Chains A and B, each alone.
Chain A
Amino acid sequence: MSVEISSTNNQPKLPKDTETINQLENLINNLDNIPPEELKSQLQIFAKNHKKLLQEVKLLTSVGDRLQKKIKSANEMLQEQAEEIRKINKDLQDKNIELQFTIDELTKAKAGKRATTIILIFAIALFIVTEVLESTFEAFFKGANMLIIYGFKVFLAVGFKPIEGLLEKAIIAKEMKRQRMELEQQQKSINPKEIINKNLNVPKIEVKNKTNSENLTNETNNANPSYEMTSEDIAKLERKLKRETMKKMGENRE
C-alpha cells in the first residue's frame, strides 16, 4: 500500500480517500461484466473503506468541535479579562483621584502649619521689638492721641490672621507647583504597563490554537492585553502608592 500524500492548498489528502470513490465508479461502469463473486468481494472492500472513512469523518468532526469549543472559551475568557481590566483601570483612576485629594489636603494642612509657625515667630519677634523699643515708640508718638497708638497695635494684631492666610496660600501654590512638576516628570519616565507587569508578575495567556481563527484570537489578545489582577494585587498596588506618597510627604517635611 503506497501512502503518497498529496497536498493542495495546505489541505492534506490521502489518495485512499479518492481511491475508494474511483473503485466504486469503476464497479458501476463495469457492473454487467463483473461476475457475482467478484462483485461481492469488491463491495466488501468498498464497505470496509467506507466504514474507515466514516470513522475518520466522525473523529475529525469530534476533534474539530472540541477545538472550536476551545477557541470560543478562550475568546470568552479574553473578553471577560478585558472587561475586568477596564474595571480595574477605572478603580485605579478613582483611587488616584482619591489619593490626589488626600495629598492636596495634606499639603494644605502642612502649608497652614508652616504659615502659622511663621506668623507666630513674627508675632513673638514683634512683641519683643515693641517691648524693647516701647520707650522710643512712646517718645515718637508723644503728644499723640493714645487711641491712635492702641488702634495701630490692634491693627497689627488683627492683621496677623489675613497675613497668615496670604502666607498659607502662597506656600500651597508653591507646593502644588512643585508636586505638579514632579508628577509630570514621573509620567514622562514611567510606563504604567511595565510597572504593573513588574510589580504584580502578571501571567500571560497562551493560546495554543493555530487554526484559521488564530488571527482572530490573537487580535483580541493584542487589543486587550491579558493582565490577571486580583483584588489582592490591586490592594497591593494601592498600599504601595500610599507608602510612596507618605514617604514623599515625610521627606518634604524633613
Chain B
Amino acid sequence: MKAIYIQATQDTPQVTLDTQKGIFEIKGNSYPENSAQFYNPIIEWLQELLANGYNNKLVFDFNFDYFNTSSAKFILEILRILEEFQEKNIETLVRWHYFEDDIDIFESGEDYKSIVSIPFELIPRDDTLYL
C-alpha cells in the first residue's frame, strides 16, 4: 500500500504511515483550520489497510506537542480503527509520547487509554533530545 508522508507545518503534525518500514506516526502540533480535511485521508488510509487484510504487527506512535479539541475527536477515531485491527487479531500497540512536564498531553493520553481497549503505552520523552 502506498505510504503517506505529510510534512509538519506550524499547525499540522508530521504524518508517516508506511507499511513497508512499519512506521505509523503522527508527530507535532495539531490545530488545523479544518481538522476533518486533514485527518480524513489518514482515516481512509487506515480503513483501506484494514480492509486489505494487513496482518503484521502495528505500532502506532502519537507524538503530540499540542492538539486542539477537533483533532482530539479524530485521534479517537484513529484509535477506534486501531481497535478494529485488534479485533481482527492483528497485534496492535499504541505508544503515546509526552514530555514529562507536559501534564496536558499526558492526561489526554490517559483519557484515551481508558476509552480504547488496545495495548496503550504512555512513554515520557527525553527533553534533552529536543533541545
Which A residues are closer than 8 A to B by beta carbons?
Answer: 1, 3, 5-7, 10-14, 52, 55-56, 58-60, 62-64, 66-67, 70, 208-211
Cβ contacts under 8 Å, A63 to chain B: 67, 69, 72, 108, 111
Q: B77: CB under 8 A from chain A?
A: yes
B55-89 interface code vs A (CB 8 A; 1 in, 0 out):
00000000001111110111011001000000000
Q: How far is the CB of A74 from chain B (nearest CB, A)?
A: 12
Flag whether B52 is at the interface (Cβ < 8 A).
no
Interface residues of B (CB under 8 A from A): 11, 29, 31, 33-37, 39-40, 43-44, 47, 65-70, 72-74, 76-77, 80, 104, 107-108, 111-112, 115
Among A6, A63, A70, max chain B CB count under 10 A is at: A63
Are A208 and B29 within 8 A (Cβ)?
A: yes
- A40-B37 Cα distance, complex, nearest whole Å: 37
**Are the CB atoms of A59 and B68 closer together than 8 Å?**
no
B65 touches A59 (CB 8 A): no
Chain B facing A: main interface SS: helix
Looking at the assembled complex, report how far the CB atom of A148 sits from the nearest CB atom of chain B, in whole angstroms: 91
A3 close to B29 (CB less than 8 A): no
Determine if B31 and A210 form an interchain contact, defined as CB atoms under 8 angstroms apart: yes
| 11 intermolecular pairs with C-beta atoms under 8 Å apart | A3-B44, A5-B39, A12-B34, A12-B35, A58-B111, A58-B115, A59-B76, A66-B104, A66-B107, A70-B104, A208-B65
A58 smallest CB distance to B (angstroms)? 8
User: Which chain B residues border A64 with CB–CB below 8 Å?
Assistant: 69
CA distance A60 to B69 in the complex (A): 6
Pick the residue among A3, A56, A58, A67 that contacts B68 (CB under 8 A).
Answer: A67
For A3, give its contact among B37, B65, B77 (CB under 8 Å). B77
Residue of A with least CB distance to B107: A66
Q: A12-B74, A63-B69, A70-B104 are in contact. Are A3 and B47 (CB under 8 A)?
A: yes
Known: A3-B47, A12-B35. 19 other contacts (CB 8 A): A1-B47, A3-B40, A5-B40, A6-B36, A10-B33, A10-B34, A11-B70, A12-B39, A12-B70, A12-B73, A13-B36, A55-B115, A58-B111, A63-B69, A63-B108, A67-B68, A67-B69, A210-B68, A211-B69
Q: How far is the CA of A212 from the CA of B69 in the complex (A)?
A: 11
| A20 → B minimal CB distance (Å) | 14
**B34: which A residues are within 8 A, CB to CB?**
7, 10, 12
Contact B72 A59 (CB under 8 A): yes
C-alpha gap A196/B100 in the complex (Å): 33
User: With contacts A7-B34, A12-B35, A210-B68 known, is A59 near B74, CB below 8 A?
Assistant: no
Query: CA of A5 to CA of B35 in the docked complex: distance in angstroms?
Result: 10
Given contacts A60-B69, A63-B69, contact A5 B112 (CB under 8 A): no
Q: Which residues of B sit under 8 angstroms from A210, Cβ to Cβ?
A: 11, 31, 68
Shortest Cβ distance from B36 into A: residue: A12
Residues of A within 8 A of B76 (CB): 56, 59
A59 touches B36 (CB 8 A): no
Residues A59 and B112 in contact, CB atoms below 8 Å apart: yes
Give the CA-CA distance A58 to B112 in the complex, in Å. Answer: 10
Supposing A5-B36, A12-B36 touch, asked if A66 and B108 sit within 8 A by C-beta, the answer is yes
Residues of A within 8 A of B40 (CB): 3, 5
Chain A minimum-CB-distance residue to B103: A66
Cα–Cα, bound, A1→B36 (Å):
17
Closest chain B residue, CB of each to CB of A8:
B36
B44's closest neighbor in chain A, by CB? A3
Shortest Cβ distance from A6 into B: residue: B36
Chain A residues in 8 Å Cβ range of B31: 208-211
